[in-house]
Amino acid sequence: MNNLKDFLIYENVSIKKALEVIDNGSMRIAIVVDNSNRLLGIINDGDIRRALLKGYSLNMSIIDIYQRNPSVCKITDTKEHIIKTAIKNKVYQIPIINESNIVVYIEDLATLLSGRIRKNKVVIMAGGLGTRLKPLTDDIPKPLLKVGSKPILETIIENFANYGFKEIVISVNYKANMIKEYFKDGSDFGVKISYLEEDKRLGTAGALSLIKEEIKEPFFVMNGDLLTNINFEHLLNFHLSGNSIATMCVREYEYQIPYGVIQIEKDEIRAIEEKPINKFFVNAGIYLLSNKVLNYIPKDTFYDMPTLFQKLINEELRILSFPIHEYWLDIGRIVDYERANDEYSNVFKE
């Protein structure tokens, strides 16, 4: 929400000011925040009316009348979870917060239920050889492998479409005709699909140099072998609110060292840590890019996404990380494919 600031107020403002914000905005609430935009609470027309009935004047502060424990959702919550939360708590608008309790968006129940069409394109990288999934990929490209009752790529497209992102671009190479024959122009799936055809392997970023039409809005890039139920709309809002040229989704990864780790200083043992667990954030294969990023991608050259992000870092441009806490699985090996089929029905609708 580009005009989020229009709904934010501080707890020392007057009731009159809060009422002006509520009346002038498209939402039915005002969000009470501190100086860092961390959520303190909300106030609506009903709160103000009840205060006036109790003898409060319009010039008094809202500090004693706003709701300090409102219904909220996190930026990582799914669309379905937000709808259920709103209905359960009988509210029409819900503040969306990040891990630092900072308000990044306001979700509107009516909009969620009616759905909306977004202009942002979705580029799905589906040209890989799927070597680690052989022999399953000897006769079929990895994105067409069925998980549950449908191909992996179909689930990805459906998830984006559910959030209103229906402009799909699929980058193809290995057994491209099979993918094009299955999805065609996308009309059977409620989306519009076009294709980027790699004559040679260009990598996850290099394939973007094949885009011919002008892109004006930030666009998604996602690997075609991932299953996740993240809220793509919240990813977009996070990217926009952070004024970022590029946002990378990241996933926390844990690795336990199977031995006791010895800390040594000048030959002396100072400490022993038994089988410590190291935690890292790893690239989750989902990105949100400004159209300006295309200027940093060389033509007709293999160029992968980590290289692109390193280039942006070297240029000291603003890039963000979006942590994924929802379901996420990279189907790169046979064991991952088997796990995906075991878990699919518990996460996605058949």
Question: In the CATH scheme, what is the code of domain 118-347?
Answer: 3.90.550.10
Q: Can you give the pLDDT at residue 288?
A: 96
Report the percent of the chain where pLDDT is more than 90: 47
Rg of the chain over CA atoms, in angstroms?
24
Residue with tokens 């107020």: 9
CB atoms within 10 A of CB 160: 21
Q: What are phi and psi of 230, to 5 degrees?
A: -65, 160
* pLDDT tens track for 316-342: 999 988 888 778 999 989 999 999 999
Beta bridge partners of 81: none
- Mean pLDDT value of segment 282-289: 94
* pLDDT tens track for 208-262: 999 988 898 999 999 999 999 888 887 888 888 778 999 999 888 888 888 888 8
**Is the pLDDT confidence value at 290 over 60?**
yes
Residue 346: pLDDT band (50, 70, 90) is confident
In the 8-state DSSP scheme, what is residue 238?
H
pTM for this model (two decimals): 0.74
Beta strand spans in 37-132 (E): 39-44, 73-74, 93-97, 103-108, 118-125
Q: Where are the domains of the chain?
A: 4-114, 118-347
Give the strand pairing for 39-44 and 29-33.
Answer: antiparallel
**Is the pLDDT confidence value at 305 over 50?**
yes
Nearest to 121 by CA among 218, 31, 213, 191: 218
Residues written for the chain: 350
Lowest mean pLDDT among 104-108, 114-118, 251-255: 114-118
Give how far Cα 277 sits from Cα of 216, 281, 282, Å: 44, 13, 15
Sorted by sequence, the CB contacts under 8 Å of residue 3 that are 6+ apart come out as none
In the 8-state DSSP scheme, what is residue 47?
H
Superfamily of domain 4-114 in the CATH hierarchy: CBS-domain (3.10.580.10)
Nearest to 276 by CA among 302, 304, 256: 256
* pLDDT tens track for 68-85: 999 999 988 888 889 999
Q: Can you give the pLDDT at residue 326?
A: 78
Sorted by sequence, the CB contacts under 8 Å of residue 259 that are 6+ apart come out as 275
Residue 1: pLDDT band (50, 70, 90) is very low
* pLDDT tens track for 4-59: 888 899 999 999 999 888 877 667 789 999 998 899 999 988 888 888 888 888 89
Does this chain's domain 4-114 share its CATH topology with 118-347?
Answer: no
Nearest to 339 by CA among 325, 324, 329: 329
Q: Can you give the pLDDT at residue 350?
A: 62
Cis peptide before 135 (omega within 30 of 0): yes
Q: Can you give the pLDDT at residue 169?
A: 96
Q: Can you give the pLDDT at residue 235?
A: 87
**Is the pLDDT confidence value at 2 over 80?**
no
Using an 8 Å Cβ cutoff, are 297 and 308 in contact? yes
Please tell me the distance from the alpha carbon of residue 228 to that of residue 205, in angstroms, as a whole number: 21
What are the tokens at 124? 């799905």
